[in-house]
Every structure is written in structure tokens, then in C-alpha cells.
Amino acid sequence: MTRRIILALAGACLFALGSAVGSWTTPSGLVLQAAPASKCSALPSASELADFLAAAPTVNGTVGGLFNGTRMWGAVVNRDGELCAYATNRSDPTQVWPGSQAIAKSKAYTANAFSLDDLALSTALLYTFTQPGHSLWSLGQSNLFDTRFLAAPGAQGSINQITGGLIFFGGGVPLYNSEGKIIGGLGVSGDTSCADHEVAKRVRNSANLNPTGGATADDIKYSSVDPPSAFIHPACINTWRNNVFIGEELPAAGY
């Protein structure tokens, strides 16, 4: 019995070591394959993400929206959907909408979850499909965001956890390596959904993580300027796309 306990403890120690450096064989002969040292190494770190977010409003003209993209949360997940980093572009993160933290994380998860090597689907392109009367209505209820993985502004909790959450409006884009392989997703929130998409697109481009088709391969489409499509997204307040003014959100009617 004592020998079994010793072997078990030795195996546990080797497993812990193996999780950091590769694979190990326990005294009983069991080969343990460890996870890679970092499944986030090809993706922006929290500090890099903050820098990209801060620079985005000054790259390629106007973002639009309410704040021109200056009050944003950003989040990055890897291909497994695990949260790798999140940040804001403000020196005081409490001055970014607190509710946007969960939205950014959910957008990152969504963009990664429904994109492939040869099919980049931003969350903006999924808008129409998920509206009442369309083919993916209620999809958003299939994987709800886990609020246990929220953290105080400026903190870095819940890293390497799968937060879940599905969002189907602008602000989430998939991320690709130089070989055209999908490696994760980016989510941005803190302004109108249209402005969020513009910032996400700029951050991805600055990080050199575009899909094979380039920075606009999965760009947002608007009914007011683009041909009819199942991938259409409504305009927002002060909507701009690629430094071109698109228009305004339609006013409410009937109530």
C-alpha cells in the first residue's frame, strides 16, 4: 500500500512538471502528454491589446459611434475558446462601460466559435441569421456567458478559462496566423456595435492577424449601401465604415 501511495505521488509530481514542459512517463509506465506551455503565445498579450485598442481610433480615420472608439473593452480567446487576455484603452478602466467587459469576451468567443480557416465570420455578419423569423433565431441561448469569469476593471482574472457567451452584432472578429489558420477570436465593446466592429477590425490589422482575404474579408455590411444579403447589419448612431460615413440608425416608430 505504501509503495502505491509513493508511486501515485511521484506520478502526480511528474504530471505537474509535464504540464509545463512536454510529456513525462510515470513510475507505473503511464505516459502523460502535457498541454503546450502556452496556448496563447501567438495572440496579443493584455498590454499589447491595450496598446492596439488605444491606437485604433487614430488609425485610418473616424471610427464613429458615440465616443469614436475611445472607451473600449477588448478580449482575446484562443482556438479552444479559452480567454487569453482582456484590457481597456483608458488609463481609468472604470470609465469604460462595465457591461462591455462581458460583451467583449462573448464577442471574442463567438467570432472564434463560428469561423474556420477558409470562412471568416465576424459577429456582425451573423446579425440577420439570429433575428426572429430567421434560421438561427435562439442560437444565443445555446451557450450563455458565465458571469463567474467577470473581474474588476484592471484585474486579470479568469485567464485560461472558457467564459462562453454568444453575441451577434458588430465587434467580434476571428484571428488568423500568417499561414491562414484560425488561432482565436477578438471581441471589442464600449461604443455602438458598428464602431466596435471598426475598432476590432483595426486592432486585428495592427496585430497582423487578418484572414487570408485581408482586413475586410468579413467586413460589416449595411442595408443602406450594400446589396440585399442575409449578412446585413443595421446602421448605428453616427455609422462609419473604413472612414466613409454610412448614415444613422433609423428612428423608433410606433411607440
More confident residue, 237 or 11: 237
Q: Give the mean pLDDT of 184-193.
A: 98
- pLDDT value for 154: 65
Min mean pLDDT across 44-53, 156-165, 177-186, 226-235 is at: 156-165
- pLDDT value for 156: 62
Beta-bridge partner residues of 172: 187
Cell numbers standing for residue 42? 501567438
Q: Give the mean pLDDT of 137-165.
A: 80
Residue 110, burial from CB neighbour count under 10 angstroms (0-12, 13-18, 19+): buried
pLDDT exceeds cutoff 90 at 85: yes
Amino acid at 63: V
CA distance 254 to 17: 64
Number of alpha carbons in the 13 Å side-chain half-sphere of residue 12: 6
- pLDDT value for 46: 93
Residue 43 vs residues 19, 76, 109, 251: alpha-carbon distances, Å: 20, 8, 14, 40
Beta-bridge partner residues of 64: 239
At which residue does the C-alpha cell 462591455 appear? 100
Confidence label for 80 from pLDDT (cuts 50, 70 and 90): very high
pLDDT exceeds cutoff 60 at 92: yes
CATH number of 46-247: 3.30.450.150
Confidence label for 253 from pLDDT (cuts 50, 70 and 90): confident
- pLDDT value for 105: 96
As a whole-number percent, the residues of the chain with pLDDT over 70 amount to 83
At which residue does the C-alpha cell 477588448 appear? 74
CA distance 4 to 27: 10
Evaluate whether 171 touches 236 at the Cβ level (below 8 Å). Answer: no
Centre a 10 Å sphere on the Cβ of residue 145 and count the other Cβ atoms it contains.
Answer: 17
pLDDT exceeds cutoff 80 at 214: yes
- pLDDT value for 155: 67
Evaluate whether 185 touches 110 at the Cβ level (below 8 Å). Answer: yes
CA distance 102 to 174: 17
What's the N-to-C CA distance of the chain in angstroms? 75
Output the DSSP codes for 181-237.
Answer: -EEEEEEEESS-HHHHHHHHHHHHHHTT---TT-TTTT--EETTTS---TTEE---T
For the chain, what are the domain ranges?
A: 2-33, 46-247
Helix then strand then coil, in percent of the chain rounded to 5, is 30, 20, 50
For residue 236, give every residue at least 6 positions away whose Cβ sits within 8 Å of its Cβ, in sequence order, or none: 64, 65, 170, 192, 193, 194, 195, 248, 249
Structure pTM? 0.83
Nearest to 240 by CA among 55, 58, 65, 52: 65
pLDDT exceeds cutoff 70 at 20: no
Q: Give the pLDDT confidence of 94-104 residue by residue, as tens digits.
A: 999 999 999 99
Where do runs of H (alpha helix) occur along the chain?
A: 2-21, 46-55, 100-113, 193-206
